Amino acid sequence: MNCPVCGCSETSVTDSRPTRHAVKRRRKCLQCDFVWTTYETTVNTSDFNRIVSSARARLEKAIKDMGVIRDYLEGMDLETRDDEDEMESELLICSDKCR
C-alpha cells in the first residue's frame, strides 16, 4: 500500500478491526507520518461478474442511443439545408418575376 500523500511504499498497519462488511485498518506512512484508514473487503466472483455484465449492457445501450441521436441530428441538419435551398430558389424565382 502506497502513502496517498508522498507515495512511499513503506507503511505500517497501526490498528485492524473487523466491521460488518469489511476490515478497517489504520495505516501510517513511515516516511511522512501521514495516517489514513482503509476498508478492505472480499469480492464474490459471481457478484463481480454480475456487475461487469450489467455495466457492459448499460454501456452498449448508451452507445446505441448515441447512434440514434447522432442519426436524428444529422437528419435534421439535412432537412434544414434542404429548406434553405428551397427558400433561395423561391427568392430567385420571385426576383426574376418581379423584373
- What's the domain range around 30? 11-40
Domain membership flag for residue 26: yes
Domain membership flag for residue 51: no
Domain membership flag for residue 75: no
Residue holding cell 433561395? 88
Domain membership flag for residue 55: no
**pLDDT attached to residue 45:** 82
State the total domains in the chain: 1
Query: What does the pLDDT profile of the chain (99 residues) look like in tens digits?
Result: 899 999 999 999 999 999 988 999 999 999 999 999 999 988 778 888 888 999 999 998 888 888 888 877 777 755 555 555 555 555 555 554 555
Q: Where are the alpha helices (DSSP H) in 1-99?
A: 45-97
**pLDDT attached to residue 32:** 95
Domain membership flag for residue 24: yes
Residue 59 near residue 33 (C-beta atoms within 8 A)? no
CA dihedral of 25, 31, 34, 36, whole degrees rounded to 10? -20
Domain membership flag for residue 29: yes
CA distances from 16 to 29, 38, 58, 66 (A): 15, 10, 38, 47
**pLDDT attached to residue 21:** 86
pTM of the model: 0.44
Domain membership flag for residue 27: yes
**pLDDT attached to residue 31:** 95
- Determine the 3-state secondary structure of 25 from DSSP: strand
Domain membership flag for residue 34: yes
**pLDDT attached to residue 87:** 55
**pLDDT attached to residue 37:** 95
